[in-house]
Structure 1
Amino acid sequence: MVEIELAQPEDAGEVLTLQRAAFLTEAQRYDNPHLPMLTETLDEITAVISGPGTLLVGRTARGRLVAVGRGRLDEHGTCHLARLAVAPDLRGRGLGWRILVAIEAAHPKALRFELFTGAESHDNIRLYERNGYKIFDRRLLDRGPGLVYLAKPAVR
């Protein structure tokens, strides 16, 4: 069983390690080394944990960090979802979906949800579409090539 909880500053090293493992696997699988989460530093992760928004982590009963995701509500009522990562050996077991649901629950006033994922990240795109997200922008963005934006209207 995996428990979903708020990240704490002392989780920063594990979050960085998990993100790198998850996104490096993705970068290699789709030959796309330009994923932004691959260049974050420990200080940047600590700032994200301590900053505005909600950074959630998933831990096993033995304390292993296996999932992470962030939601941040902006002044327009849009909840931006990012940093969704699941340990490579546990992909496909619904952890990404549980993190998404927990972030959505933490931001009930959101009018819309947006996230980005690699355009070649077919597994992630299928996960998001199963959970009601729609692709609305496939532009190449300045954060790196191959990004795709998705949106999900908030359920009222």
Structure 2
Amino acid sequence: MATSDEIEIRPITPDDAGEALTLQRAAFVQEALIYNSVQMPPLTQSLDELRAELVENLGCVARDAGRMVGAVRAQRDGELLLIGRLAIAPDVQGRGIGSMLLEAVENRGREAGCREAELFTGSLSEANIRLYERTGYRESGRVEEDEGIEQVFLRKTLD
């Protein structure tokens, strides 16, 4: 497990776009293998699109000895915090960085007035679902996609 002494977590900014995009692509290759498709938004997003997305974002990055090892994005929609694109470098997955990033982004959401958080993942992404449930998220719905795959939506109350 990573400790907060080893990992620095701070808000994400447009200046992080290049490094975040590289991290995102590395992390989501694993998902592409699960779903047998590289046509996933995290893998096809352009640098300009990501930079624009980060202008007003409640997301965070995690750094270990200066290296970006994790990132997550979030936007406020009224009292709902919409969390997306949680990406952890493949060589450091399983060290608790995802949980730390979720906690940090949830805190930013609370400070912005959000009362609930929502995120989603694919139904075949069992490790993601386990992480989200372990950190207090509960399934709130499913949306049917192609070939029997579903998007699984999970929510958590931000106390």
- TM-score computed with the length of structure 1 as normaliser: 0.89
**What is the root-mean-square deviation of aligned Cα atoms in Å?**
1.6
Cα displacement (A) at 1:80: 0.3
> What SS does structure 1 have at the residue aligned with 2:59?
strand
Identity %, equivalent residues: 44
Cα displacement (A) at 1:32: 4.2
Partner of 1:130: 134
* Aligned ranges 1:53-132 → 2 under 5 Å: 53-61=57-65, 63-75=66-78, 77-108=79-110, 109-132=113-136
One-letter identity of the residue aligned with 2:114:
A
Cα displacement (A) at 1:139: 1.0
> What SS does structure 2 have at the residue aligned with 1:14?
helix
1:45 and 2:50 equivalent?
Answer: yes
Q: 1:60 & 1:12 partners in 2: Cα distance?
A: 17
Does the CA contact (< 8 Å) of 1:22 and 1:88 recur in 2?
Answer: yes
* Long gaps (5+) in structure 1: none
Within the candidate set 18, 26, 50, 2:23 is matched to: 18
Which aligned segments of 4 or more residues in structure 1 are displaced greater than 3 angstroms? none
Corresponding residue pairs, total: 150
Does the CA contact (< 8 Å) of 1:81 and 1:113 recur in 2?
Answer: yes
Q: 2:145 & 2:53 partners in 1: Cα distance?
A: 21
- TM-score computed with the length of structure 2 as normaliser: 0.87
Cα displacement (A) at 1:147: 1.9
One-letter identity of the residue aligned with 2:144:
L
Cα displacement (A) at 1:30: 4.1
